[in-house]
Amino acid sequence: MIRTAQPEDLDAIAALHTRARSTYYRGRIPEEAYGGAAELARTREGWSRAVARAATDGGVLCAESGGELTGVAAFRTADGETTLTQLHVDPVHWRRGTGAALHAACLDTWRRAGVRRVRLEVYEHNLRAQAFYATHGWLPDPTGARVAGSHRILWLAVGDAAGE
């Protein structure tokens, strides 16, 4: 089931986010940059701001199975540009359709809002995520732009429900 995140989801969202990030950051950046109590608190605060955001400025969607949070996605619209800021699936739930369901729910939301194009940044070493996004139609920035040298920029043409 996909639903809108609520403030009471914040602890579960932050913990899931931390578990997911550790799978692609481990061995590449210092652990304190993605783990530990201080980073968990910072992560929770960021998600708190995202959950509190007005619907016109973005949204946070949760995937849930059997009462357990299995994935989360967040997006934001600012200055006329929509960005998929986060899409995480708990590693124990990989390859079960959770990410695809979250992605489809985001697409539905963007279509209803009239969004035509969405941006995202993906960590260059997260090949699993890059393959997922490519499967779902995301394309590399045509200029080859990167963010801080460690994240690739991808774009998705949203189209309408008929696939146009």
CA separation for the pair 84, 119 (Å, rounded): 6
Tell me the residue length of the chain.
Answer: 164
Q: Would you state the pLDDT for residue 42?
A: 81
The domain 2-157: what is its CATH number? Answer: 3.40.630.30
Taking each continuous run of H as one helix and of E as one strand, the counts in the chain are 4, 8
What residue type is assigned to position 71 of the chain? G
Residue 130 — φ and ψ, nearest 5°? Answer: -60, -40
List the chain domain ranges: 2-157
Residues 29-42 have pLDDT tens digits of 555 665 666 677 78
| Residues 77, 57 contacting (CB under 8 angstroms) | yes
Residues 9-20 have pLDDT tens digits of 999 999 898 888
